[in-house]
Amino acid sequence: MPKVTFIAHDGLVREVQASVGQSLMQAALDHNVRGIDGDCGGQCACATCHVFVDPAWTGRVGPRTAQEDEMLNFAAELRDNSRLACQIPLTEALDGLVVALPEGQH
Amino acid sequence: MTTTTATADARARINALPLDGLNPADIQYFLDDTAPLVFERLRREDPVHRSFSPVEGMGHYWSVTRYQDIMAVDTNHAAFSSEWSKGGITLYNPPESDRLPMFIAMDPPKHDDQRKAVANIVAPANLNNWQDLIRSRTATLLDSLPRNETFDWVDKVSIELTTCMLATLFDFPFEDRRLLTWWSDVATMNKLVNPDALGPEERMAELGKMLGYFTKLWNERVNAPPRTDLVSMLAHGAATKNMGPMEYMGNLVLLIVGGNDTTRNSMTGGLLALHDHPEEFAKLRANPALVDSLVPEIIRWQTPLAYMRRTANRDVELAGKTIRAGDKVAMWYLSGNRDDAVIEQPDRFIIDRARPRQHLSFGFGIHRCVGNRLAELQLKILWEEILNRFPVIEVMGPPTRVKSAFVRGFSSLPVRLPG
């Protein structure tokens, strides 16, 4: 049961207990984490589950895929640690993961 | 005859037609709103369907009708091109002289560069800035509506609000804003399916006037410091500042239609949907916080653009059919939005769905509607302000539908505000 932390744009912190095998996006939706929309349902087709991976975790989370790059290309704020939460499968190794959220998803 | 009986009759009539000749882009299905019944049959019997339209410039095309197949096409721009020179994003191929370059009808990398030149105008920070302006305009307009007399909701509310927004986005002279409405209508009209439309030459002449007007705005802004309006952003953007006149015209058409027509028709469609589902309207009045899920449900229900077209770059297998290189492919968002494999009870208008934003109306993939959150914001504010002031909005008669299989909208809707 990896625990993950979402830090909203206004600083509000949400910790949720996720399940191994689900995506970070699904964990957010299951717990109604404000600021993760997930319009396409996790198919890397809309970029509305954009997160900034805490620098301490970028190595374990890994880099963006080519399709993620295409979708995030139009994000209002793109950083090196930008990922789509639907493309991050949760494992025990990600227990404690911290991500921050952008000002809005679109 | 009740609506239910009329629907059952229409369904029986459509189900009795030979499948082979079924042409879902036939304008008749959009004028009488039986298109959803055609798609219901295609999803069931022939989800990737080849057909022929006798309209000049349309001809043979594929219809993709199921949600996941539409998603597969929309997210595969390598196989399915949007390129304007191949015919672009609508089934009708205009004569080559009338084809307009615009970034919605381009593939990467040029699409990406031009889209980025304007995308920031709808970034979250800018939306926050506009919120108060949209709310005060909406409130003033609603307070000015006539009481106890029938008026046209489309003209007085839907067109006025979306045109004001568009004028702001362009920083367009406010007193001339109805020109934007007119040019939007001109851009999407097609004499071949709409007898009231301008002919092709008159249509291009009107778009030429639009270009003339906007060229003056460009010239004013290109030498001024960059600002957050669409003309200034195009004039200063690295990927757009050297556009030729046809490309400027094309991108203006895209931004005017995209920023106006779609939201306009959702503003009207939402009122109709709530009128047709009084139990949902009652639910909304009891709990105004449902506006958040009402808005995406309106956008699903209306599907203001019924489809987007692609052109196959190579042979592709889809649902057991072989789409050949060069074939036209229509992704019928109107159909995918009623696919019960993905959306529960899709034929019901339900304002408190668990996942209301999974609809296809904005498209998915790299061409996903850039203004989606602005559209949602305008609709949200409109409904919040309506709920604040009008206990009843009476729909006095049926709407007039736009004569198009692409734009799914309304040209009028008579309503009355009692009191």
pLDDT class of A100 with cuts at 50, 70, 90: very high
Residues of chain B with Cβ-Cβ distance to A102 below 8 Å are 124
Q: What are the helix (H) ranges across B303-410?
A: 333-336, 372-389
Which one of A49, A50, A67, A74 makes the best mutation probe of the B interface by having the most chain B beta carbons within 10 Å? A74
pLDDT digits (tens, 9 = 90+) for B246-295: 999 999 999 999 988 899 999 999 999 999 999 999 999 999 999 999 99
User: Given a cut of 90, is residue A87 above it in pLDDT?
Assistant: yes
- Mean pLDDT within A72-88: 95
Residues of chain A with Cβ-Cβ distance to B116 below 8 Å are 73-74
State the pLDDT at residue A31.
Answer: 96
State the pLDDT at residue B131.
Answer: 95
Q: What percentage of residues in chain B have a pLDDT greater than 90?
A: 95
Instruction: Name the stretches of chain B with pLDDT < 50.
Output: none
Q: Give the minimum alpha-carbon distance from A83 to chain B in angstroms, rounded to a whole number.
A: 16
Q: From the CB of residue B110, how many other CB atoms can be counted at a distance below 10 Å? A: 13
Q: Provide the number of CB pairs (under 8 Å) joining chain A to chain B.
A: 59
pLDDT digits (tens, 9 = 90+) for A1-60: 899 999 999 999 999 999 999 999 999 999 999 999 999 999 999 999 999 999 999 999
State the pLDDT at residue B397.
Answer: 97
Q: Which residue carries 């506006």 as its tokens?
A: B291
Nearest to B124 among A38, A39, A106 (CB): A106
Question: B108, A70: Cβ pair inside 8 Å?
Answer: yes
Is A43 part of the contact surface with chain B (CB cutoff 8 Å)?
yes
Is A46 part of the contact surface with chain B (CB cutoff 8 Å)?
yes
- Contact in structure between B251 and B259 (CB atoms under 8 Å): no
Buried b (16+ CB within 10 A) or exposed e, B125-150: ebbeebeeebbebbeebbeebeeeee
User: Which residues, 6+ apart, have CB-to-CB distance to B303 below 8 Å?
Assistant: B333, B334, B337, B359, B360, B361, B408
Question: A103, B124: Cβ pair inside 8 Å?
Answer: yes
Q: Give the minimum alpha-carbon distance from A61 to chain B in angstroms, rounded to a whole number.
A: 23
Amino acid in the structure at residue A70: E
pLDDT digits (tens, 9 = 90+) for B84-108: 999 999 999 988 888 999 999 999 9
- Contact in structure between B191 and B92 (CB atoms under 8 Å): no
pLDDT digits (tens, 9 = 90+) for B367-386: 999 999 999 999 999 999 99
Q: From the CB of residue A6, how many other CB atoms can be counted at a distance below 10 Å? A: 24
B151: closest CA among B280, B256, B271, B259?
A: B271
